Amino acid sequence: MSKTALITGSTSGIGLGIAKCFAKQGYNIMFHGLETNGPEIAQQIANENQIKTAFSNANLTNAEDIEKLVERTISTLGSIDVLVNNAGIQHVAPIDEFPNATYEKIIAINMNSVFYASKAAWKHMKNQKFGRIINISSVHGIRASEFKSAYVTAKHGVIGLTKVLGLEGAPFNITCNAICPGYVKTPLVENQIKDQAKAHQLSEDEVVEKIMLKKQAVKDFIPVEKIGEMALFLAAENANTVTGTHFTLDGGWSAQ
Ligand code: NAD
């Protein structure tokens, strides 16, 4: 029987790239995100791959909505075998100019939602003695950059939670791992290029060359398909001994 994956933030960027990889392998997918064309994306990918899909625009700042998202995945698609906690936002500003509300929103979406979604999926995964939780952290889960106080805090927190869930899940064949990408050219990064240009008083081309890709030994943005392939490996039945850890996909950034 086909397995089911709930991928948060899968109507854009990295999440959409991961969803396409899972769809090609026959996973049924709960698409999720705030993009207004979400239903069309879910339908098109269902048609192209002969899989079942559904779509939700649940707001990840709300714990109850997250619980309902997990319940809806099970009621419409039959189970939740893989949970990819991917949705995230960014804001770039020096700490003394960083709005409190923006800090709290980033912590809520990028970190707290990972806890709430994992908690909601846990009992189902435990009962079926199978679960794969994959958290999209970032190279900023293990390294810092200036002007990203909320994001770096949240992404480090996700790695901590990943370790705990790796330990707690072991008796139930539930694994939990994090992927730490370097820069991927998605709407999130395109906005960041503009913000960084303002914060550092550089042109957008200079931000890409002098700030973003400067830290990567491989001078290319990371393609979303590579993140999808890594997630597919972590979701596999035979990846059951890989847990509680993180995998970098950062063009050598964290080797320094
Ligand atoms: P993106 O902006 O393309 O997609 C983000 C997704 O999250 C969208 O579907 C959006 O609708 C959803 N989302 C945002 N706020 C939400 C909310 N309140 N409720 C529900 N959904 C919400 O971004 P992306 O670059 O694809 O980022 C995906 C993940 O990868 C994020 O966690 C990000 O931190 C991480 N990441 C990105 C990069 C990069 O370079 N792009 C690098 C490392 C890690």
Q: What is the arithmetic mean of pLDDT over 93-121?
A: 98
β-bridge partners, 177: 134, 245
Q: Cβ < 6 Å from ligand 1: which residues?
A: 9, 11-15, 33-35, 59-61, 86-89, 109-110, 136, 138, 181, 183-184, 186-189
Q: Are strands 245-249 and 174-181 parallel, antiparallel or unpaired?
A: parallel
- Whether residue 72 is predicted with pLDDT greater than 90 in this model: the reply is yes
Q: Which CATH number fits domain 4-183+223-255: 3.40.50.300, 3.40.50.720, 3.20.20.150, 1.10.150.120?
A: 3.40.50.720
- Whether residue 151 is predicted with pLDDT greater than 80 in this model: the reply is yes
pLDDT 10s digits, 5-21: 999 999 999 999 999 99
Active site includes 151?
yes
Cα–ligand 1 centroid distance for 189 (angstroms): 9
Answering whether pTM is above 0.95, one says yes
pLDDT at 1: 74
Contacts 24+ apart (CB under 8 A), 122-127: 122/174, 124/70, 124/74, 124/79, 124/80, 125/80, 125/81, 125/169, 125/172, 125/174, 126/172, 126/174
pLDDT 10s digits, 33-50: 999 999 999 999 999 999
DSSP 142: T
Mean per-residue pLDDT over the chain, rounded: 97
